Chains A and B, each alone.
Chain A
């Protein structure tokens, strides 16, 4: 079993849609959680950290369920510029990246 598993995707959605990504992790001792986005042939960039209480940043909402070892990212009112690969990241002694979920937002 992979340490960090994500929805395989790809997700193709129209502008304005709401889309949700899921991620599960295997190490119950994991301490920190993040969502990164990676544009094609570019480096990953931090989108948001994920806190136990859940957190929101504009159109983006992240949730963490430690009991189920599950992380989610919700994107509301999708924009064309949201098209990217979204990486779930879990940290214990080092950062472990999921394989990513590709999102394409279409006009």
Chain B
């Protein structure tokens, strides 16, 4: 079974530019989560999507946004890039709960990440 996939693997941008990162969840998973992991720091929760809707958002400015498509894949967009946005961006997916509803506490499976460098 294919795992979570992310693209691109690496990206170099300059300050002020915009970037779009992509994620495809494991087949059958309806929830997609985005995290930021800056060098030497822990994972910071960015966004949670399920069934095309944003379910929760971390403490990040509005220039971080995203969406989820009908096939459950997702995009993370970051506008007006700043130097401190340089980080590994991880996507994770999880199954719906036993009732069919999205549950925030199901096990999450991570993709390999996109390493973003802002110069």
**Interface residues, chain A, with chain B CB atoms under 8 Å away:** 31-32, 34, 41-46, 49, 87, 91-100
Contacts and interface: CB of A to CB of B under 8 A. Distances in A.
Nearest to B40: A99
A11 B90 CA distance: 26
A93 B35 CA distance: 15
Q: Interface residues of B toward A: which range?
A: 20 to 34
30 contacts: A31-B105, A32-B105, A34-B107, A43-B90, A43-B113, A44-B90, A45-B110, A46-B108, A46-B109, A49-B107, A87-B43, A91-B104, A91-B105, A92-B104, A92-B105, A93-B56, A94-B33, A94-B45, A94-B48, A94-B104, A95-B33, A95-B45, A95-B105, A96-B45, A97-B35, A97-B43, A97-B45, A98-B42, A99-B41, A99-B42
Interface in B76-116: 88, 90, 104-113
A97 B104 contact: no
B107 A46 contact: yes
B28 interface: no
B58 interface: yes
